[in-house]
Structure 1
């Protein structure tokens, strides 16, 4: 294989001024729908107009661009596809390599506030022995990674690519963490149990109760079941669309920045731990940073196809997962799992904790808490 296909090269994100000018024009020319007629129909017109007004007049992409480049931006080719990643090495000699896996509608930027505390814990009030080298790849079809041009890029294939990535970076032993689709990728990695993988941690357990477990549910488990039912009945329309007709919605996501913002903002509104205003728990500019990671590379359709791909992969194995794994369950998460459900499916539960605050976007909502959950999970593996 050509060395050009196996090297990891620095990659500087530099968006042309013309692309930002085009975005501003499109935002100015937005044709807005009429006002919603009732609650719970999606993001309210006034809220989205205010978001897009700020996007057009007060938001600074160059600030975000600098953050990406300062974190350590690289590209490499995995399984024939160009992949963008963040890679930050710790100054501590005992640091363990940590793979962080994002989902939709997230990006590598979800973890920006984790990188410093994880790589240099002493500088952030922690202990040197809790240090990690941090690797954050961007999913195929997401952000500044290339877009697949053929089918087959579901969580299992991505898992194989990330295993190869960790070896390519020279890491013989490592751990993995994920949320959302990142949890599915980490689950696929951990079930493969590659020789270098020491353990895993997820903040969205890939655990779904059986009919018997539903019948035997404790009051707390019943609450989890009801929350999942509410999500499936009222909030997962985006997932159904992307699982069945991603190309259909892709045209709107590619052409309308306001439409893309609404499509993504819905998730921040529905599954963060908020009191009706997601911008109280995730800064407005950070939400727009995530939107930009889909707008600038025109990744609306290509990222949506991950749902379509996942629907066509084999279902989860019924065999217990052999990899030591930790679980952090946040109260605002749509899909939760009790300790006993987890322990029936994993042979070695390193850590389990139900948190008091936080939702689906744990790294954005509760970064300090998630850092400590990761540290706690992997201490016994050092």
Structure 2
């Protein structure tokens, strides 16, 4: 490929789907000691449940068709393939918006918000706030395929997306992010401050300041959020492995679909089975299970600053890792903060109406 943009509808060959089912049928089950199903990681019973459903009931073609209801394209940026959905609004004054997912998710995180954001009138919403949507698979993830080299952390991905939006002809646009997208979306604003009108995220990243007075004055809510982040940083075993030894793990989760879903489900076990298996299928069928996890190691190595001047909007879903608002206010240009009454880490999927409403309100004031 070169810098041209080419149509790239999604289609997984039948042979690859047959191979997946065959591998699932021949799963070699890990022995589990008595009591090993509690506090030792994903249990044997849970993996068996998911593998059985994946093998006997899951229909990849239905999900593939759902995504293919929208046009898809590909281009080459900085030596790697970038695959993206490009959904143009029928509204003439639509705001361009790039949506950034994370791990172990995929572009399917946003499948429930595409229609209402791009064509609000068709969904009973005010057509004066509408969006042209650009929905890329992060380099190294999903339909973009494995990256050919190292170094694809938040900064390099954001730079690639700045170039993508330039190629699409957008000189002013907004960004939306979840999970790793919460770092990528504001980073676009740092790299292209004249182009990015605002960043909307579900988690606002921050550096814990060395300020005893500020910490002592935290609200009860913020103190709980700080403690949650501290606990996450010391107990998220998957993040430690990804940061230190991603390639060591890559061999196992690239060779075994049962191993892949057993590993990935630790971060999305509150989701419905179909959603869990769709994200796992994307990673498996595109051979990106191993390359996607490298973003943790790359982010550790690049050490980008967290703060950015771009206007920031935050929606906090109750079943997600909370951000410390006092720290966010100090380190970002925070202009909107919403605490939702429902929704998980994948709020765009399981509470789409709340995300849609918040995104629309945020960007309506930033045209």
Give yes or no for TM over 0.5. yes
Report the equivalent of 1:216: 217
Report the equivalent of 1:147: 146
The answer as to whether partners of 2:187 and 2:308 remain within 8 angstroms in 1 is no
Report the equivalent of 2:262: 262
Secondary structure of the residue aligned to 2:143 is coil
Matched, 1:380 2:358: no
Distance 1:356 1:70 in 2: 31
1:56 and 1:156, CA in 2 relative to 1: closer, same or farther beyond 3 A? Answer: same
Secondary structure of the residue aligned to 1:301 is helix
Report the equivalent of 1:30: 27
Task: After superposition, give the CA deviation of every residue in 1:288-336 in whole Å (9 maximum; x if it has no partner).
Answer: 110011101111111111111111003415xx52211111112222242
Per-residue deviation, 1:346: 2.2
Distance 1:72 1:45 in 2: 39
Report the equivalent of 1:313: 302
TM-score (norm 1): 0.91
Measured on the aligned residues, the alpha-carbon RMSD in Å equals 1.6
Aligned residues: 363
Distance 1:194 1:342 in 2: 19
1:1-382 to structure 2, matched below 5 A, reads 5-35=2-32, 36-212=35-211, 213-234=214-235, 236-269=236-269, 278=270, 282-316=271-305, 321-338=308-325, 340-347=326-333, 349-382=334-367
Task: After superposition, give the CA deviation of every residue in 1:345-371 in whole Å (9 maximum; x if it has no partner).
Answer: 123x22111222222222122111111
Report the equivalent of 1:272: none
Distance 1:135 1:209 in 2: 32
Distance 1:190 1:67 in 2: 31
The answer as to whether partners of 2:145 and 2:288 remain within 8 angstroms in 1 is no
Per-residue deviation, 1:284: 1.4
1:368 and 1:263, CA in 2 relative to 1: closer, same or farther beyond 3 A? Answer: same
Secondary structure of the residue aligned to 2:112 is helix
Per-residue deviation, 1:74: 1.0
Distance 1:25 1:124 in 2: 41
Distance 1:80 1:335 in 2: 36
The answer as to whether partners of 2:155 and 2:304 remain within 8 angstroms in 1 is no
The answer as to whether partners of 1:190 and 1:323 remain within 8 angstroms in 2 is yes
Residues 186-195 or 95-104, more deviating: 186-195
Q: Could you tell me which runs of 5 or more consecutive residues in structure 1 were left unpaired when the two chains were aligned.
A: 270-277
1:238 and 1:12, CA in 2 relative to 1: closer, same or farther beyond 3 A? Answer: same
TM-score (norm 2): 0.95
Secondary structure of the residue aligned to 1:262 is helix
Q: Could you tell me which runs of 5 or more consecutive residues in structure 2 were left unpaired when the two chains were aligned.
A: none
Residues 108-117 or 328-337, more deviating: 328-337
Distance 1:87 1:307 in 2: 27
Distance 1:201 1:52 in 2: 35
Distance 2:247 2:332 in 1: 37
The answer as to whether partners of 2:146 and 2:287 remain within 8 angstroms in 1 is no
Task: After superposition, give the CA deviation of every residue in 1:169-212 in whole Å (9 maximum; x if it has no partner).
Answer: 11121100101111111121122243221111111101233242
